[in-house]
């Protein structure tokens, strides 16, 4: 997939790789070797790597561990993150995709958009022209960012949501599934609904 050969994976559960899950679905890909637990980062020293966790808090914690171990430097060869762009994604040549970012199948990243390090542009989502998606943020499947939207760091833009052009979403905010965001969202806020409004407690997306 995406022209990347998987050398192995780190997980505290050695059976976590595709094909070793309990239901053992058949698939055409060989199972990559288990290289160790999440607490031992030494196996990545010879490889480029990417964080394959969907939970933003866990991803941020892992980024902290990687930074502490000196693995976030942009080096040639191993010991630094790579970006993965699925061949079924559409990415403008004038866009920028940061190290550690993942662009999923059928996602679209338009002209002059910038996807920063370790962000996820998930299946079928659209990042329109001149958008910025901050570090470690997740644009969930089917979400659409209109032109010149700015998404801060550690933001979740929920399933099927819509963000109107020019809107700014602050660091750590959560946009609920199916929301339509028509105005700026404050840092750490949780919004949901049509049009999106701030909510208290619970999960927005």
Domain locations along the chain: 9-81, 83-198
Confidence (pLDDT) at 46 = 73
Confidence (pLDDT) at 22 = 47
Confidence (pLDDT) at 30 = 67
Q: What is the 3-state secondary structure (H, E, C) of 72-139?
A: CCCCCCCCEECCEECCCCEECCCCEECCCCEECCCCEECCCCEECCCCEECCCCEECCCCEECCCCEE
Burial class (CB in 10 A: 0-12, 13-18, 19+), 156: buried
Query: Per-residue confidence of the chain (205 residues) as pLDDT tens digits?
Result: 556 677 788 888 777 665 544 444 455 556 778 887 777 777 777 778 888 888 899 889 888 887 777 676 554 444 567 888 999 999 999 999 998 899 999 999 999 999 999 999 999 999 999 999 999 999 999 999 999 999 999 999 999 999 999 999 999 999 999 999 999 999 999 999 999 999 875 445 4
Confidence (pLDDT) at 29 = 59
Q: What whole-number distance in Å separates Cα of residue 177 and Cα of residue 108?
A: 19
Annotated active-site residue 34? The verdict is: no
Confidence (pLDDT) at 198 = 94
C-alpha distances in Å from residue 121, one per residue of 5, 148, 173: 21, 16, 16
Q: What is the pTM of this model?
A: 0.85
**What separation, in Å, do the N-terminal and C-terminal C-alpha atoms of the chain show?**
28
Active-site residue, from 80, 110, 129, 138: 129
CATH of 83-198, one of 3.30.470.10, 2.160.10.10, 1.10.10.10, 2.40.30.10: 2.160.10.10
Residue among 32, 64, 65, 60 at smallest CA distance from 47: 32
């Amino acid at each position: 997939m995406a022209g990347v050969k998987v050398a192995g994976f780190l997980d505290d559960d050695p059976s976590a790789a595709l094909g070793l899950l309990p239901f053992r679905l058949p698939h055409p890909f060989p199972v990559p070797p288990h290289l160790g637990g999440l607490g031992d980062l030494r196996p990545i020293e010879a490889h480029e790597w990417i964080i394959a966790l969907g939970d933003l808090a866990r991803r941020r914690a892992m980024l902290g561990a990687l930074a502490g171990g000196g693995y976030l430097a942009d080096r040639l060869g191993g010991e630094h993150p790579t970006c993965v762009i699925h061949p079924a994604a559409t990415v403008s040549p004038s866009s920028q995709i940061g190290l550690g970012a993942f662009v999923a199948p059928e996602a679209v990243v338009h002209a002059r958009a910038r996807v920063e390090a370790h962000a996820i542009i998930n299946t079928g989502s659209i990042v329109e022209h001149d958008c910025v998606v901050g570090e470690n943020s997740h644009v969930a499947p089917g979400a659409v960012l209109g032109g010149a939207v700015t998404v801060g760091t550690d933001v979740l833009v929920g399933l099927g949501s819509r963000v109107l052009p020019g809107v700014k979403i602050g660091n750590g905010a959560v946009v609920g599934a199916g929301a339509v965001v028509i105005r700026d969202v404050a840092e750490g806020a949780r919004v949901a609904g049509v049009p999106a409004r701030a909510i208290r407690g619970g999960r927005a997306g």
